[in-house]
Copies of this chain bind each other. A is one copy, B any other.
Amino acid sequence: MGMLQAGNNSHAMPYRDEHLTMDFTQQAVLLDSERMTLTRKEYELLALLVQHAGEIIPREALLMQVWGYGAEIRTRTLDVHVRRLRKKLGGYADQYIETVFGIGYRFQPFHAPRFCLPQAIRTAVALGA
């Protein structure tokens, strides 16, 4: 259902749009064909967002999945990491990582249509599943 999958998704299908490519097997990210070097936490955060592209991921879920924090922990480290990610995404930052006030963040594929299905569903549809 709405649950985020836990654990290692290194076998997930690669993500690709006009500017961003993400290979979860090789833990490699390209932005306009240039290698992006991300720290581990940055990578895990981006991976989680990208693998749920189009979905709002609550702060709590991110802190849970990436940091293992429970709901009681108060920290600003997520914000700091989002900021660094955005910086590394350059001019596309605002396009890609959207803040959903009071809830969390959402990754949007580049030039996402107004109504956008999550990556997993789009992939399934494209494959005729």
Q: Which residue of B lies closest to A13 (CB)?
A: B121
**0/1 string, A50-88, CB within 8 A of B gives 1:** 000011100000000000000000000000000000000
The copy count of this chain in the complex is: 2
Q: Which of B14, B26, B39, B124 contacts A127 (CB 8 A)?
A: B124
A11 CB to closest chain B CB, in angstroms?
9
Contact B33 A115 (CB under 8 A): no
Number of interface residues of A (CB under 8 A): 33
Contact B101 A39 (CB under 8 A): yes
Contact A23 B115 (CB under 8 A): yes
Contact A55 B26 (CB under 8 A): yes
A104 CB to closest chain B CB, in angstroms?
11
